[in-house]
Amino acid sequence: MTTLTLAKALNEGLRRSMEDDAKVLLMGEDVGKLGGVFRVTDGLQKDFGEDRVIDTPLAESGIIGTAIGLALRGYRPICEIQFDGFVFPAADQIITQLAKMPLRSLGTLKLPVVVRIPCGGGIGAVEHHSESPEVYFTHTAGLRVVACSNPADAYTMIQDAVRCDDPIIFFEPKRRYWDKAEVDLAAPGLALDRARVVRPGRDVTLVAYGPMVKTCLEAAAAAEEDGRDIEVIDLRSLNPLDAEVLTESVTRTGRCVVAHEAPVFTGFGAEIAARVTERCFYHLEAPVLRVGGFSTPYPPSRLEEHYLPDLDRVLDAVDRSFAY
């Protein structure tokens, strides 16, 4: 066991992936000497060289487009998008090309490209540095979309993502980059497409992913003092969605609350609510409730504490669930 921050765990995972497979490449803005603005790629260029850790021109469409070409040639590129809000110049390449080319080739082409995106708010940043763009990608067939939430998982998830033959959007919760935890560097980890019950409980199922997992665990700990036993699920994979874990849990608890940072309106919580309702309708004691951002752009940082669902807002939703 080693104690690592989430950023360092990703760094170790990337290092393992590059050691294991000479075809794995890293590419992005400032990933080399600087080690990325969050230092996730720190030291990798020094050890693997400029041909494998590629500082790219400042052009996101270029990063994804050339990664597609490299993948067609047998490489496994891992692309870093510097911040969530800057993935949109690359959206065309991701949505019209990366996601659809394998199908267009009737399965003869594989595009094992990982697009790493630091996501979410809570770090006091300026505009476009705190967004949660997951549903643009979960809505795009052909992409796998995953979100890590803690160091141990991040370490194995990034390696599994690199090994996967499908294109993957890999979200990293930037306000959790500096969180530390024990990581077993030899442990295999849970399969990439599975959700995890991170805290078992009887009374209500709290569903989260990425940065909100920690908030939900804190909410569950606080609720314990009031005698409520909350189960917390870390989805890990948004597409595909592990509906089995959800069904099993909500069938038991009868209540479900979903929390994410992105706006609630047509957010990922809507998908969870619909799935859970279809699968657990006769077990539900209350409608599935959603907690998340408002139907507004991410606000200036002096207001972000109001925008981001905190422990109180999560518990408020839990209370509302019990009020039915």
Partner 1 sequence: MTAHAPRGADAPPELVQLLTPEGERVEHPDYDIELTTEEVRSLYRDLVLVRRVDLEAVALQRQGELGLWASLLGQEAAQVGSGRALSGADMAFPTYREHGVAWCRDVDPVNLLALFRGVNHGGWNPAEHNFHLYTIVIGSQTLHAVGYAMGIQRDGGESAAIVYFGDGATSQGDVNESFIWASVFNAPVVFFCQNNQWAISEPLEKQSKIPLYKRASGFGFPGIRVDGNDVFACLAVTRAALRNARQGQGPTLIEAFTYRMGAHTTSDDPTRYRLANELEAWKLKDPIERVKAYLFKNELADQEFFEKVDAEADALGKDVRDRCLALPDPPPGAIFDHVYAGAHALLDEEREQYLTYLAGFER
Ligand X SMILES: Cc1ncc(C[n+]2csc(CCOP(=O)(O)OP(=O)(O)O)c2C)c(N)n1
Binding mask 262-281 for partner 1 (x = CB under 8 A): ---x----------------
Among 32, 173, 201, 269, binds partner 1 (CB under 8 A): 32
97 is a contact residue toward partner 1 (CB under 8 A): no
Residue 129 known to be catalytic: yes
126 is a contact residue toward ligand X (CB under 6 A): no
Q: What is the dihedral of CA 17, 18, 22, 23, to 10 degrees?
A: 70
287 is a contact residue toward partner 1 (CB under 8 A): no
Q: How far is the CB of 202 from partner 1 (least distance, A)?
A: 27
Q: In this structure, what are the phi and psi dihedrals at residue 265, rounded to the nearest 5 degrees? A: -60, 120
From 112-120, 219-227, 251-259, 302-310, span contacting partner 1 (CB under 8 A): 302-310
* Residue number of the CB atom closest to ligand X: 86
58 is a contact residue toward ligand X (CB under 6 A): yes
- Number of Cβ atoms within 10 Å of the Cβ of 287: 14
50 is a contact residue toward partner 1 (CB under 8 A): yes
From 6-14, 202-210, 233-241, 311-319, span contacting partner 1 (CB under 8 A): 311-319
Contacts 24+ apart (CB under 8 A), 275-281: 275/241, 275/243, 275/246, 276/246, 276/247, 276/250, 279/243, 279/246, 279/247, 279/250, 280/247, 280/250, 280/251, 280/256
| Residues 6+ away with beta carbon under 8 Å from 317 | 257, 259, 289, 290, 291
CB-nearer residue toward partner 1: 83 or 209: 83
CB-nearer residue toward partner 1: 240 or 300: 300
CB-nearer residue toward partner 1: 33 or 202: 33
- 33, 55 Cβ separation under 8 angstroms: yes
User: What is the spatial distance between Cα 191 and Cα 209, in angstroms, rounded to a whole number?
Assistant: 16
CB-nearer residue toward partner 1: 274 or 303: 303
297 is a contact residue toward partner 1 (CB under 8 A): yes
Residues 132-161 interacting with partner 1 (rule: CB under 8 A): none
* Secondary structure class of 277 (helix, strand, coil): helix
Closest CA to 205 of 151, 312, 311, 285: 285
47 is a contact residue toward partner 1 (CB under 8 A): no
Q: Are strands 168-173 and 204-208 parallel, antiparallel or unpaired?
A: unpaired
From 129, 260, 283, 306, active-site residue: 129
User: What is the spatial distance between Cα 87 and Cα 93, in angstroms, rounded to a whole number?
Assistant: 10
CB-nearer residue toward ligand X: 65 or 287: 65
- 309, 292 Cβ separation under 8 angstroms: yes
User: What is the spatial distance between Cα 145 and Cα 193, in angstroms, rounded to a whole number?
Assistant: 9
Q: Rule CB under 8 A: which residues touch partner 1?
A: 29-30, 32-35, 37, 50-51, 55-59, 61-62, 85-86, 88-89, 124-129, 265, 294-297, 299-304, 306-307, 312-313, 316
Active site residues: 129
